[in-house]
Structure 1
């Protein structure tokens, strides 16, 4: 019976230290972005449903699954988080899907540069690998100033990093310092929950 208060205190301390370390890692992530030169991988904001209707067309948003009003608000809040921390964004890329373009526009208020390599590829591992290599090349060549953002789909982020991002999670990457210098991979340097 007398051990119970000590066990409770130990659990509370463990929870507190987890929260403190998470807050510390969040601050470290923002500090990294303040220096510039990183790539921020984001997925589109809330677009209810799954997949796209059959026979959708990239240049016709009425044929696609699109952001809801809540999704547009999410995207704007994401952009506000970067602006509030004075994170410099010098370049914004997006997949050609309307939900990613709209996420990028709502978050960063600039016209994003559509990039085919960020498009959603389903059931074609070779095409996804080729796209990933093209994206890695762009990331390797980026030096700043500021940071670049790539708004894409969860499957693409997972193919690049091995991480399936949570909703509203930014995955911050840089070219890997290890491995083959001619074809380095990516290092995940931080993860940020924006929603």
Structure 2
């Protein structure tokens, strides 16, 4: 009589329900207790297959939780510089590169020019930006080099959109001697030879400038320094040598070629 009035009961173990009807003695209760502790400590490892979570079936009404990939935060990186694709070939010679620049009326190109010959390396210890006498300056050979490059651009009627220059005297003088347009001092391309901590922020600013001006037709001439050009293009130019680049795919820089010094 007493047995017929007992309610069916169960104990939850992990994600399973174990019937406890009739387990009224201490031994049965202890057995459930030990099994529950084992589940909590071992995460069901080593249990019989019929109690393992991996063997638990999912009912048709249950939908497995979607797997969400962890979000990867963007990190600062060097400017993306790519080679040309087969559908967009790089000019093989300087003559072909000049010909491409002559057709710049409908597209923007950047001509990054290392200043003309200025004997020495770096700048004197007493360097002051606004005092050319404290800086390394162009030699007479360097001045002639700058004039010859400017003449080459004028002879080919290169459509120059802007002429930007580092604020260093040797760069400003090179830009003036080119005589292909009004010169605008542009601190973004100042030399960071003496302070490499400025390399990444200045290069990123220059890259952003080129991206923002990619719709401006013509050639943007930027007279700067070896370290600046190398940081952006991975090319080490000679004095008076130019590296020609353009923006492709909206936000990537492409090296088109090099114009050797005159």
Say whether 1:60 aligns with 2:128.
no
**Contact persistence 2:241–2:259 (CA under 8 A):** yes
RMSD: 1.8
Deviations 1:73-92 (A, max 9, x none): 11000101111111111200
Aligned residue pairs, count: 168
- TM (normalized to structure 2)? 0.60
Q: Residue 132 in 1 paired to residue 200 in 2?
A: no
Larger Rg: 2
Contact kept, 8 Å, 2:160 with 2:181, in 1: the verdict is no
Shift of 1:24: 5.6
Aligned residue for 2:93, secondary structure, equals: helix
Matches within 5 A, 1:132-151: 132-142=203-213, 143-151=215-223
Offset, 1:124 = 4.3
Using the size of structure 1 for normalisation, the TM-score is: 0.80
Q: Which residue of 1 aligns with 2:226?
A: 154
C-alpha separation in 1, matches of 2:235 and 2:207: 15
1:28 to 96, 99, 109: 96
Conservation of the 8 A alpha-carbon contact between 1:119 and 1:153: yes
Paired position in structure 2 for 1:165: 237
SS at match of 1:45: coil
1:97 to 156, 168, 176: 168
Query: By how many angstroms is 1:125 displaced?
Result: 4.1
Rounded to whole Å, the distance in 1 between the matches of 2:180 and 2:158 is 14
Secondary structure class of the residue paired with 1:164: coil
Q: Give the structure with the larger helix fraction.
A: 1
